[in-house]
Amino acid sequence: MQDVWNEIHINQLVSSKSTHTVAIQEVFSDNKCDSSNSPCHIPNMPQHLYLVMEECQGGTLLDKIKEKVCYEEKEARKVCRILLEAVATMHELGIAHCNLKPKKPHVGIPRRQCHHQSH
């Protein structure tokens, strides 16, 4: 469970520095484990965590790649720049993303980024 809390903390760090990452808005947990009948075996540890993620429409990068017959260089350059800026932000924070692939990044614009652009 500590790994999950670490991931939540990392997401909060990165999303506070980059508008190109989907942020966790809230974290809720259900009842605490009862070690006598729970698979978690750690008293007072939540059995389940519920992560409320930032709304982001548009699907994954892989979805967008499959939709298009081909990418224009200008479009590809924009997507690459966004991905590399997000990775650079993680690296500046001492974080390495070890599982980056086209089905992971969401290509929609996070709501907070839309809000920033409207002002």
> Which of the four pLDDT bands, split at 50, 70 and 90, describes residue 117?
very low
Q: What is the pLDDT of residues 8-62, one digit of tens each?
A: 898 889 888 888 888 888 988 876 655 555 555 555 667 778 889 887 777 778 8
Taken in order 39, 42, 48, 53, the sign of the CA dihedral is negative
Name the residue ranges covered by the structural domains of the chain. Answer: 2-117
pTM of the complete model beyond 0.85: no
